[in-house]
Amino acid sequence: MIHIICALKCEARPLQHHFQLKHVKKAELFYTCLNEARGISLTISGIGKQASIAATMHARMLLDAKSSDAWINIGVAGHKTLAIGQLVLANRIEDASNGQIWYPQIIFKSKISCAGLLTLDKALNSYDEIMYDMEGSGFFATASRFATAELIHCLKIISDNQTKPVLKLAEKFVSELIADKTAEINALFEQIQALSSRLESVTSVPQHYEQCLQRWHFTQYQKGILQRLLRRWQTLRPDESLFEAKLTKIRRANDILTYLEGELDKISLSPKAD
């Protein structure tokens, strides 16, 4: 399942039409629509980081999301030089209010360009060589609490730049920008759903989990992290042995988690072009 979070109705409208999403009547806090056969949901959060946080949690609980489900924040963004209408994946997300930074793991092949994303608490009248929005960091931080890192992404369509700045975007214009990119979005979804299916096929108790519990003492909290890391290992490095000489020399459970995370992060985070 792919769960889309959009801030605005005008961003969501062309996606709802393209993917034939039907309103979920039991959704009371946030408008949510779903095509269960296609494996896609969409929730409209409203503007701002806190709204995005709440809508992402709402969608997770309402739809009983799995850890192998994908989460995509789709909307418009400004940038100094990128062309109006360009589709861009965020490869770096920063929260302007606290400086926290995340690096989405883009491990699938894609011709979509990448750029950094800065999430603001209020709109700016100036531009820089980075995308601007007001929801991305809240969405990404929240989804990261329960979803797999490789399946959480912010996908933006450039709506304004230094050459064509705007104080307020017309709803029709925003909808047209999104509608023009539905074919590319659909192609991206197919790649992400394939990766999600690979993760879903991983057994509930990942390979090497019991061996790790026999060798090291993990707290209940650490066990959850261990399972998530081992599932990622099975998906991203299926042909590599986990129990190599270096790993057996590690004494503490926390150091095992650090080691696994570091090894997984060595995988290239840049999209691979066809």
| Model pLDDT for residues 53-92, shown as the tens digit of each residue | 999 999 999 999 988 899 999 999 999 999 999 999 999 9
Residue bearing the bigger pLDDT, 158 or 219: 158
Q: Which domains does the chain have, with CATH numbers?
A: 2-200 (3.40.50.1580), 209-265 (no CATH)
Confidence of residue 202 (pLDDT cuts 50, 70, 90): low
pLDDT recorded at residue 273: 41
* Whether pLDDT at 45 is above 80: yes
pLDDT recorded at residue 245: 58
What region, left, alpha or beta, does residue 39 occupy, with left being phi > 0 and alpha being psi -120 to 50 degrees? left
Q: Write out pLDDT tens, residues 16-28.
A: 999 999 999 888 8
Q: Is residue 153 within 8 Å of residue 103, measured between CB atoms?
A: no
pLDDT recorded at residue 206: 77
pLDDT (mean) for 221-232:
84
pLDDT recorded at residue 204: 61
pLDDT recorded at residue 268: 45
* Whether pLDDT at 109 is above 60: yes
* Secondary structure in 3-state letters for 173-224: HHHHHHHCCHHHHHHHHHHHHHHHHHHHCCCCCCCCHHHHHHHCCCCHHHHH
CA 260 to the chain's CA centroid: 21
Q: Write out pLDDT tens, residues 238-267.
A: 777 777 656 777 889 999 899 888 888 776
pLDDT recorded at residue 79: 96
204, 207, 210, 211: CA torsion to nearest 10: -170
Structure tokens at 219: 């707290």
* Whether pLDDT at 274 is above 60: no
pLDDT recorded at residue 262: 84
Q: Write out pLDDT tens, residues 126-183.
A: 899 999 999 999 999 999 998 888 899 999 999 999 999 987 889 999 999 999 999 9
The amino acid occupying position 38 is R
